[in-house]
């Protein structure tokens, strides 16, 4: 039986809207998956924590993302894995037309295999499944309640913000959607920073309270004014009131708001990325740098060191070449190219893509083709798709590969 008995922290029409979307997604899934073989369906993220967002503007409605994790009987999962991958993509496509982002992950319920999956996935997901989720179907699976994200997980969160800044033009977003994403991504940066310093909180309101205290104590590399703006974004996330956001930031209209948000998000991203990479790469405390030019130069150097440190020691390049030739028979061209990246550079493709998109953010898009040719020299430039579009496709494929 489906359990949709969840309420938002600030009850309003959002409860009804979010329940209807969740029911539609679950009804579709249960029609296409044998319910008797489902152990548990988890709803994760802000909706599960009672902090879901519904923003109404004119005729459009924008909502929080819906993230579902479906635990299945292992033999059933193994027999139908390709089908589940297709379903995951189909439900996302069905709801994206209504401005609802939906992510569905299918996992086997055997503990040994879950451990294997956790080894290849970020521990931040394990933490979210255990702490920040709600069972909406079946029986709750045993979770590792001691799981905590690492500094590297925090850094990956920061890189996801970089990707949204770099690829914003490829997502066909309305101004209101773009504004919501910028606000949400600023709060993602705060979560990244807190995780990096060992503070874990599953809700936005708890994170703001921790941040206020840490800034007073000089623990975090952000200012009181920046925390105030993040608090404004938190209230926007919870209330869904665009007018309240405009008034709080003294913006005349949505265009004025977007300009402010993008500038704020870009500057905060560079600051936090510099802070996290300095500690991880140079193993020393980052010092505040208020000169944008020198900060970009330093961050460019840090990215190079970060890339070098991720190098995996293969027995020989011949092994890499052999593996690539073997993988050349694979049907999926993009995944084959990602594998080639690993074989030739001996570095995880995701790491190289993280470096690439950050360099694009720091410098300018005219360098995209140069970077693309240096990192992926075996790929032919497609005349119908510019270098940024090609990088965007690779990024999406790398993200999907990690999740599935």
- The CATH number of whichever domain residue 46 belongs to comes to 3.30.460
Cα(143)–Cα(140) distance, rounded to whole angstroms?
Answer: 9
Whether residues 277 and 157 fall in one domain: yes
pTM above 0.85, yes or no: no
Q: Does the structure show a pLDDT above 60 at 115? A: no
Structural domain ending residue among the three candidates 138, 159, 184: 138
Whether residues 78 and 185 fall in one domain: no
Q: What is the pLDDT of residue 277?
A: 94
Whether residues 132 and 191 fall in one domain: no
Q: Is residue 296 one of the residues assigned to a domain?
A: no
Among the ranges 128-132, 139-143, 249-253, 287-291, which has the highest mean pLDDT value? Answer: 249-253
The residue segments making up the domain with residue 359 are: 317-403
Q: Is residue 42 one of the residues assigned to a domain?
A: yes
Q: Does the structure show a pLDDT above 60 at 391? A: yes
Q: What is the pLDDT of residue 93?
A: 87
Q: Does the structure show a pLDDT above 90 at 260? A: yes
**How sure is the predictor about 96, in pLDDT bands with cuts at 50, 70 and 90?**
confident
Q: What is the pLDDT of residue 351?
A: 82
Residue 373 or 33, more confident = 33
Structural domain ending residue among the three candidates 74, 108, 138: 138
Whether residues 332 and 262 fall in one domain: no
In this prediction, residues 27-37 reach a mean pLDDT of: 93
Whether residues 280 and 325 fall in one domain: no
Q: Does the structure show a pLDDT above 90 at 217? A: yes
Q: What is the pLDDT of residue 11?
A: 54
Cα(32)–Cα(55) distance, rounded to whole angstroms?
Answer: 30
| Span 154-179, pLDDT tens digits | 999 999 999 999 888 777 788 999 99
Residue 393 or 318, more confident = 393
Residue 169 or 192, more confident = 192
Q: Is residue 3 one of the residues assigned to a domain?
A: no
Whether residues 175 and 266 fall in one domain: yes
The least confident of 254-258, 264-268, 370-374 is 370-374
In this prediction, residues 102-117 reach a mean pLDDT of: 66
Q: Is residue 5 one of the residues assigned to a domain?
A: no
Whether residues 107 and 218 fall in one domain: no
Q: Does the structure show a pLDDT above 90 at 235? A: yes
Residue 345 or 75, more confident = 75
List all residues 6 or more positions away from 186 whose beta carbon is below 8 Å from its beta carbon.
229, 230, 233, 261, 264, 265, 268
Q: Cα Rg for the chain, rounded, in angstroms?
A: 21
Whether residues 25 and 113 fall in one domain: yes
* 206 CB burial (10 A radius; 0-12, 13-18, 19+): middle
Among the ranges 29-33, 186-190, 290-294, which has the highest mean pLDDT value? Answer: 186-190
Q: Is residue 302 one of the residues assigned to a domain?
A: no
Whether residues 228 and 336 fall in one domain: no
Whether residues 41 and 73 fall in one domain: yes
Q: Is residue 6 one of the residues assigned to a domain?
A: no
Q: Does the structure show a pLDDT above 80 at 332? A: no
Whether residues 215 and 88 fall in one domain: no
Whether residues 21 and 127 fall in one domain: yes
Domain count, the chain: 3
Q: Does the structure show a pLDDT above 80 at 252? A: yes
Give the rounded percent of residues in the chain with a pLDDT score beyond 70. Answer: 73
In this prediction, residues 138-157 reach a mean pLDDT of: 81
**How sure is the predictor about 143, in pLDDT bands with cuts at 50, 70 and 90?**
low
Q: What is the pLDDT of residue 57?
A: 77
Q: What is the pLDDT of residue 279?
A: 93
Structural domain ending residue among the three candidates 138, 166, 191: 138
Q: Is residue 382 one of the residues assigned to a domain?
A: yes
Q: What is the pLDDT of residue 189?
A: 98
Q: Does the structure show a pLDDT above 50 at 26? A: yes
Q: What is the pLDDT of residue 58?
A: 76
**How sure is the predictor about 366, in pLDDT bands with cuts at 50, 70 and 90?**
low
In this prediction, residues 229-254 reach a mean pLDDT of: 95
Q: Is residue 2 one of the residues assigned to a domain?
A: no
Q: What sections of 97-122 are H helices per DSSP? A: 111-120
Number of residues assigned to the chain: 404
Neighbours of 155 (CB within 10 A): 20
What 3 state SS string does 151-194 have? HHHHHHHHHHHHHHHHCHHHCCCCHHHHHHHHHHHHHHHHHHHH
Give the rounded percent of residues in the chain with a pLDDT score beyond 90. Answer: 37
Give me 129's structure tokens: 């499944």
User: Average per-residue pLDDT in the chain?
Assistant: 80
The least confident of 105-109, 164-168, 285-289, 296-300 is 285-289
In this prediction, residues 357-373 reach a mean pLDDT of: 73
| Span 297-315, pLDDT tens digits | 888 889 888 887 776 555 5
The least confident of 60-69, 157-166, 248-257 is 60-69
């Amino acid at each position: 039986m489906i359990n949709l008995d969840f309420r938002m922290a600030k009850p309003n029409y959002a409860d009804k809207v979010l329940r209807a979307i969740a029911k539609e997604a679950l009804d579709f899934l249960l029609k296409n998956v044998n319910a008797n073989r489902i152990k548990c369906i988890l709803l994760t993220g802000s909706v599960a924590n009672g902090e879901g967002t519904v923003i109404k503007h004119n005729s459009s409605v924008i909502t929080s993302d819906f993230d579902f994790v479906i635990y299945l009987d292992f033999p059933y999962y193994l027999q139908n894995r390709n089908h589940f991958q297709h379903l995951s993509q189909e439900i996302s496509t069905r709801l994206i037309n209504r401005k609802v982002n939906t992510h569905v992950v299918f996992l086997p319920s055997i503990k040994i295999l879950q451990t294997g999956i956790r080894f290849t996935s970020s521990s931040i997901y394990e933490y979210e499944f255990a702490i920040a989720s709600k069972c909406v179907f079946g029986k709750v699976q045993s979770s590792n309640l001691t799981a905590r994200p690492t500094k590297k997980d925090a850094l990956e969160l920061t890189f996801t913000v970089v990707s949204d800044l770099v690829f914003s033009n490829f997502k066909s977003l309305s101004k209101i959607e773009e504004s919501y994403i910028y606000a949400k991504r600023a709060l993602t940066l705060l979560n990244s920073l807190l995780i990096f310093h060992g503070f874990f909180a599953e809700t936005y309101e708890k994170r703001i309270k921790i941040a206020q205290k840490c800034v007073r104590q000089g623990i975090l590399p952000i200012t009181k004014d920046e925390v105030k703006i993040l608090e404004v974004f938190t209230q926007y996330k919870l209330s869904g009131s665009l007018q309240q956001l405009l008034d709080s930031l003294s913006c005349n209209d949505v265009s004025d708001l977007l300009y402010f948000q993008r500038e704020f998000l870009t500057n905060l991203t560079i600051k936090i990325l510099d802070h996290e990479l300095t500690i991880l790469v140079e193993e020393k405390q980052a010092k505040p740098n208020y000169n944008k030019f020198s900060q970009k130069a330093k961050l460019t150097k840090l990215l190079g060191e970060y890339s070098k440190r991720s190098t995996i020691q293969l027995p020989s390049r011949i092994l890499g070449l052999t593996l690539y030739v073997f993988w050349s028979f694979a049907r999926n061209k993009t995944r084959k190219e990602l594998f080639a990246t690993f074989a030739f550079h001996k570095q995880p493709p995701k790491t190289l893509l993280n470096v690439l998109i950050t360099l694009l953010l720091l410098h300018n898009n005219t360098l995209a083709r140069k970077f693309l040719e240096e990192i992926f020299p075996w790929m032919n430039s497609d005349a119908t798709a510019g270098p940024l579009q090609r990088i965007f496709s690779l990024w999406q494929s790398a993200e999907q590969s990690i999740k599935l």
